[in-house]
């Protein structure tokens, strides 16, 4: 039997929540939680494949995605949805406190990661944070991120990427995905001339002459960081305490509620980019 799908009238679309979980009883509980907060469930399913198709079509404000599904993962769905429609805010939901789930959610472009072990009031608090334009991560991830943070110690080319500012990291990612200066400016809401100046600054900091060199470096480091997430949080076994501390600091920047007043698209994307770069630096 196909997964159930609940669709509200057209006038209500775009203001609600989509639920993805392969257990109907879990979806029922999530629906009760969402509706008790005055929100509307615009659709639901238990399949990653169906959710990747339905969510962009329904255009909910928020999508709650189970991280472990029979035909994929919540991170995969999040990556697909945000590529199609960045305005949809995805939150992963997990029963694990493993760092690999946390890393996967950040690199996939999620706005947060909830724990199924948190009580309903905490889950609602985090959901409301996302609706208000902030990132929201369960505090159950915090204990692993409380280690000491050491000063950055740049070395090779990949290490130099971490010297880029938040905005420069975002521009570098745009270059890596083949965007023009104009497209990057439109995405970041800044002038094309400003982007051009930032590209010059990036080239100078990296000691490069062409943007294609930046594209190759950034694409390579991001791909390697995704491999780290897929294999688990094995960056801790890289043999360098300084690099482990750098990754921890980058993770903390992404998840801490005290790290910034707001985590709207640009700073959120930049923080994820810095995490990807620091993870990549731990790889051989």
Residue 1 lies in a domain: no
CA atoms within 13 A on the CB side of 261: 0
Question: What is the C-alpha to C-alpha distance for residues 113 and 136, in angstroms, rounded to an integer?
Answer: 7
Query: Which residues sit opposite 90 in a β-bridge?
Result: 63
Six-digit token string for 106: 């950040």
- Domain residue limits at 53: 10-143
Last residue of a domain, one of 143, 167, 200: 143
194-219 residue pLDDT tens: 999 999 999 988 888 888 888 887 77
Residue 4 lies in a domain: no
Does one domain contain both 130 and 163?
A: no
Looking at residues 180-187, what average pLDDT do you find?
A: 87
Does one domain contain both 35 and 123?
A: yes
Does one domain contain both 206 and 184?
A: yes
Question: What is the C-alpha to C-alpha distance for residues 108 and 75, in angstroms, rounded to an integer?
Answer: 6
Residue 151 lies in a domain: no
86-116 residue pLDDT tens: 999 999 999 887 778 888 899 999 999 999 8
Question: What is the C-alpha to C-alpha distance for residues 97 and 150, in angstroms, rounded to an integer?
Answer: 24
Domain count, the chain: 2
Does one domain contain both 169 and 266?
A: yes
Q: Map tokens 């035909």 to a residue.
A: 71
φ/ψ of 259, rounded to 5, equals -70, -25
For residue 9, pLDDT over 50 is answered with no
Confidence of residue 80 (pLDDT cuts 50, 70, 90): very high
Closest CA to 149 of 234, 232, 223, 259: 259
Confidence of residue 272 (pLDDT cuts 50, 70, 90): confident
How many Cβ atoms are within 10 Å of 237's Cβ, its own excluded?
9
For residues 221 and 280, the answer to whether their CB atoms sit within 8 Å is: yes
Residue 131 lies in a domain: yes
pLDDT mean across residues, the chain: 80
CA 179, 180, 183, 187 dihedral sign is positive
Specify the pLDDT at position 281.
79
């Amino acid at each position: 039997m196909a997964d159930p799908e609940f669709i509200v009238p057209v006038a209500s679309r775009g203001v609600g929540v989509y639920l993805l979980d392969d257990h109907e009883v879990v979806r029922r509980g999530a629906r009760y939680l969402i509706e008790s907060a005055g929100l509307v469930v615009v659709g639901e399913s238990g399949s990653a494949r169906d959710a990747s198709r339905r969510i962009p079509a329904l255009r909910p404000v928020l999508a709650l995605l189970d991280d472990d599904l029979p035909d994929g993962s919540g991170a995969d769905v999040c990556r697909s949805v945000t590529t199609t429609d960045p305005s949809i805010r995805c939150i992963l939901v997990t029963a694990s406190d493993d760092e690999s789930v946390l890393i996967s959610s950040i690199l996939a472009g999620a706005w947060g990661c909830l724990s199924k072990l948190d009580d309903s009031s905490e889950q609602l608090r985090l959901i409301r944070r996302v609706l208000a334009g902030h990132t929201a991560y369960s505090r159950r991830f915090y204990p692993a991120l409380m280690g000491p943070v050491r000063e950055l110690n740049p070395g090779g080319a990949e290490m130099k990427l971490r010297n880029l500012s938040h905005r420069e990291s975002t521009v570098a990612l745009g270059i890596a995905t083949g965007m023009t200066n104009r497209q990057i400016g439109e995405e970041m809401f800044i002038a094309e001339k400003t982007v051009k100046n930032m590209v010059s600054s990036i080239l100078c900091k990296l000691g490069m002459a062409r943007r294609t060199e930046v594209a190759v470096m950034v694409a390579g480091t991001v791909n390697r960081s995704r491999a780290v997430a897929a294999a688990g949080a094995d960056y801790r076994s890289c043999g360098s305490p300084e690099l482990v501390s750098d990754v921890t600091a980058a993770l903390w920047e992404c998840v801490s509620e005290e790290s910034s007043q707001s985590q709207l698209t640009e700073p959120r994307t930049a923080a994820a980019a810095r995490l990807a770069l620091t993870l990549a630096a731990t790889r051989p």
